[in-house]
Amino acid sequence: MASFASDLVLWYQRPISYPNFRDETQPMGKNSSSHFMDEALPIGNGRSGALISGGVSREDLVLNEDSLWSGDENRSGDYGTMGTYQMFGHLIINLDGHGNFSNYRRDLDIGDALAHVSYEINGTHFSREYFCSHADGIIVVHLTADNPGSYSGSIELNDSRVGKTVAANGHLTFAGHLVNGMRYEAQLLTLNSGGTLKTNGSVLEFKNCNSLTLLVVLGTDYVMDYSQSYHGEDPHPRLTGQIKSAGKKSYGSLRAAHEKDFGHLFNRVKLDLGQSTPEQIGMPTDQRKIKAAETFDPGLEELLFQYGRYLLISCSRPGGLPANLQGLWCDSNNPPWDADYHTDLNIEMNYWPAETANLSECHLPFFDLVLSQIPVWRSATEVSPEFKTSTGQMTTRGWAIRVSHNIHGGLGWEWDKTANAWYCHHFWEHYAFTQDKEFLKNTAYPVIKEICEFWQDHLKTLPDGRMVVPHAWSPEHGPTEDGVSYSQEITWDLFDNYVQAADTLGVDKDFRDRIAGLRDKLAAPGIGNWSQLLEWMTEQHDTNNPELDTPNDHHRHTSHLFAVYPGDQISPRKTSALAAAAKTSLDARGDTGDVREWSFAWRTALYARLHDGQDAHRELQQLFSTRNTCLNLFGMLPPMQIDGNFGITAAMCEMLMQSQTGSIDLLPALPKEWPNGLVNGLRARGGFTVNIQWANGKLIFATIYSSTGNDCRLRYGNAIRDIKIEDGKSITVDGKLVTVKSN
C-alpha cells in the first residue's frame, strides 16, 4: 500500500508564470485565461483565503473573502446587473537581494493545509510557510532562514479597488465600501524577530530580520439576513479583535490550533489506491498530472480525490457562504460568469461530496444562504408572468430561481424552473445521511413542502392524465417544451423525498398522500428509437440542429440523466430498461465536442451509478488532461471553474460505495486499475460510516459503524445481508458478508 502522506502534496519547482496578472478592469470571457488563478496555490478557512504565487524576490498573495460581492436584489433579472464576486486585494512581500536563487520548491500539503516555499541564496536556506486558520480567523505567513539577519525588504497591502492603505506601528489597513453600500476592511500585523521594522508611507519596511510572521484578517459587513438588507455591523471592531488576539499567540500555537481544527474534518477519510512508480512520485505535480492523463497514477488519483475535500473544507465552513463557481478564490473583479451561483448544475455539484465524503458540516453554508434568499426569491416569483399557475393566476405559493444568483437575493439569466426542487434535494440528502431529525423538522421539511406546493400549483395535466412541468428546458441545450426529462426527474425526486420526509416526521398525511399521487402521475422519461433515454418527451427533429437527440449529440450537459445521478429514480436493479437507455445516452454523449471538466466529473458518477467501473475510470482520468485541469489542479472549463474538483471526489465515492437504493452497496463500480486498496470513512445514508478493504479486485473486509441504530442492508455483488448494528457500535464483515468482528 502507498503511504498516505506521499499522496497529499502538490509541489512545483518554480514560482507561477509571469506576467501573472491580466488587466482586471477588462471582463474575463470564457476563452480568456489567468496564469495566477491557474497556477497559484489556494489556502482558505471557509470565509477568507489566499492564492499564493510563490515568487522569490516578490511574493504576491491574492486575498479573498467570501462575502465581498457587488450587486443587489436585481429585481429585473438582468444578468448584466446582478453583480459579481470581488477580489479583496493583494499582500505583496518584496525581498531585497533575492534575485538569484537555487533549489526552489513550492508546495501545498493538503493533509495539514500548509503551503510552503523554499530556496537557497548564497548558502542561506530561506523558507516560508502559509496557512489560513479557521480556529483564529486569520491568514498567516511565516518567513524563516537558517542564517540570522537574512531578511530585508518591504510589505504592501493593496486594495484591488485602488483604495488607500494606512501604515502604522507594524500594521497595514485598508477599508472602503462598494457601490451597493457594502463595507469591507483588511488588516495586517507584522511581527519581526531581530532586525528593524518601520513605516514608510503606506508600506512597512524591514531590515536584517531573523524571521517575520504576517497576520491578515479580512471582513465585510455582510450578514445572511434579508430583514437587515444583508448589511450588519461595520467589520472594523471584529477584525481588530481578531488580529489583536492572534498577535498575542506564538506562531507555533497558531499553527497547532489550525492543524487540529483542519484535521478534525480532513482526517475522517483515507483512500489508498496502490503505489505509484518512483518516476511518478519524483515528478512535480504540473508534469505528473499530464502523464497521469495517459498512464494510471494511483497516488495522483488519491490526491485529486482528497483535493476536492481539502477545497470544500477551505471554502465552505459553517457561518460562511457556500462555495461559488470558483470556490472562494478569485484573482479579478470581473471573474468569469461573475463567480456566481449557477443553479442548473454547478453549485449543486459543489456539494455532491459533502455527505458521502464525510464533510456534512461543510454543507450547512448552502442551506443558510438559500434560507436567507427565499424572501427575495418569493417576491421575484410572485410578479413573474413566467409562473402563472394552471388556473392562470399569479404565483402565491413557493419560489423559483434563475440560472444565476448572488448573495443579496439577486437573480440573473433564464429561469431554471425546477432548480428550486434540485435545491430541495440537498436539504433531504443532508437528513438522509445525518438522520438529524431536528434539521429535517425545522429546516428541510418547511422548504421541501413549500416547493411541493409550488409544483402542485404549476404542473400541467396532459389529456392522458400524466402530469408535466410546462415550458421547461434541458439546461443550455435544445428546445423549451412541456415534460422535459430533466424537470420531470427533478420533480419526481422532490415529491418522493417529501413523502419520505412526511413519513419520517409523521405529519401532514393528507398533503403527503396528494403529493404521492402527483408523483405517481408524473410523465416518466421514455426510450427513443436508437434505444436512448429521451431528453424531451418526443424524438427531436431540428433542421437548425440536425445532430440534436442523435448519437452525434455530444453536448456538455447530461441533464436528462439526473434520475441516475444525483437522483435515484433510475438504477440498474430497480429500472433495468431505463438504466440501459441511460447508458446508451451517456455513451453517445462521449468525451468530445464541448465536454468540460465538470462534464467528466458528472459522467464518472453516472457510469459509477450504472455499475460501469471501467468507463467511470476513463472519465476520471480525463480530469488530468491539460484541457480539464489547471497546473494547480483547479478545474479548467476553460477558464478556471471549481465544480469539477468537487464532482470528481463525489464520483469516486460512488465508485467505491453507494447507498441510494436502500442498501449499502460495496465496491459497485471498481475498475481494474484499482485491484488493491482501502477507503476509510465514507458516509452512507441512514447514519452509517463505512471502511472498505479489497485485494485482487475482491472485497476482503468492510466495517460499518452506526450512529443511529437504524437497520442496515449490505450488498456486495449478488450477496445481500440484513444486519442490526446498535447505536454507536460497528460490525466488520468479510467478502461473503459474514460477520468477523463486532464492537
Total Cβ atoms within 10 A of residue 232 = 15
Shared-domain flag, residues 134 and 260:
yes
Helices 445-458, 364-382: axis angle to 10 degrees equals 30
Q: Is residue 609 part of a domain?
A: yes
Q: How confident is the model at residue 163, as a pLDDT?
A: 87
Shared-domain flag, residues 641 and 685:
no
Instruction: Tell me whether residue 511 is exposed, middle or buried, using C-beta atoms within 10 angstroms of its C-beta: 0 to 12, 13 to 18, 19 or more.
Output: middle
Which H or E run contains 509?
A: helix 509-521
Q: Which residues pair with 85 in a beta bridge?
A: 69
User: Measuring CA to CA, which residue among 256, 12, 272 is closest to residue 135?
Assistant: 256
Residues 6+ apart with CB under 8 A from 264: none
Shared-domain flag, residues 263 and 287:
no
Residue 710 has pLDDT above 90, yes or no: yes
Shared-domain flag, residues 183 and 222:
yes
Please give the mean pLDDT across all residues of the chain. 95
Residue that finishes a domain, picked among 602, 626, 658: 658
Structural domain count, the chain: 4
**Angle at the Cα of 113 from the Cα atoms of 109 and 114, rounded to 5 degrees:** 65
| Parallel, antiparallel or unpaired: strands 183-193 and 171-177 | antiparallel
Q: How confident is the model at residue 33, as a pLDDT?
A: 44
- Say how far apart CA 702 and CA 711 lie, in whole Å: 17
Q: How confident is the model at residue 212, as a pLDDT?
A: 98
Residue 25 has pLDDT above 80, yes or no: no
Q: Is residue 81 part of a domain?
A: no
Residue 35 has pLDDT above 80, yes or no: no
Residue that finishes a domain, picked among 625, 658, 691: 658
- For residue range 592-617, list pLDDT tens digits in order: 888 999 999 999 999 999 999 999 99
- Say how far apart CA 45 and CA 217 lie, in whole Å: 11
Q: Is residue 192 part of a domain?
A: yes
- Domain with residue 484: its CATH number is 1.50.10.10
Ranges assigned E (strand) in 178-232 = 183-193, 196-200, 203-209, 211-220
Shared-domain flag, residues 106 and 202:
yes
Length of the chain: 743
Shared-domain flag, residues 556 and 513:
no
Which H or E run contains 373?
A: helix 364-382
Shared-domain flag, residues 94 and 179:
yes
- For residue range 150-179, list pLDDT tens digits in order: 999 999 999 988 889 999 999 999 999 999
Shared-domain flag, residues 112 and 254:
yes
Q: Is the pTM of this model over 0.95?
A: yes
pLDDT confidence of 18, banded at 50, 70, 90?
A: low
Q: Is residue 78 part of a domain?
A: no
All three cell numbers of 347: 453549485
Shared-domain flag, residues 43 and 172:
yes
Q: Residue 531 to residues 209, 400, 486, 578, 596: CA-CA distances in angstroms?
A: 72, 34, 18, 9, 25
Shared-domain flag, residues 121 and 237:
yes
Residue 262 has pLDDT above 90, yes or no: yes
- For residue range 91-119, list pLDDT tens digits in order: 999 999 998 999 999 999 999 999 999 99
- For residue range 357-399, list pLDDT tens digits in order: 999 999 999 999 999 999 999 999 999 999 999 889 999 999 9
Q: How confident is the model at residue 160, as a pLDDT?
A: 84
Judged by phi (left if over 0) then psi (alpha if -120 to 50, else beta), residue 48 lies in beta
Residue 20 has pLDDT above 90, yes or no: no
Q: Is residue 610 part of a domain?
A: yes
Q: How confident is the model at residue 17, as a pLDDT?
A: 84
- For residue range 315-370, list pLDDT tens digits in order: 999 999 999 999 999 999 999 999 999 999 999 999 999 999 999 999 999 999 99
pLDDT confidence of 31, banded at 50, 70, 90?
A: very low
Q: Which residues pair with 324 in a beta bridge?
A: 327
Q: Is residue 94 part of a domain?
A: yes
Shared-domain flag, residues 509 and 586:
no
Q: Is residue 203 part of a domain?
A: yes
Q: Which residues pair with 118 in a beta bridge?
A: 105, 127
Tell me what percent of the residues of the chain surpass a pLDDT of 90: 93
Domain that holds residue 151: 38-67+87-267
Q: Residue 516 to residues 267, 488, 522: CA-CA distances in angstroms?
A: 41, 14, 10
Residue that finishes a domain, picked among 524, 554, 569: 524
- For residue range 51-84, list pLDDT tens digits in order: 999 999 999 999 999 999 999 999 999 999 999 9
Task: Determine contact, residues 374/405, Cβ cutoff 8 Å.
Answer: no
Shared-domain flag, residues 250 and 123:
yes
Q: How confident is the model at residue 21, as a pLDDT?
A: 42
Q: Is residue 136 part of a domain?
A: yes
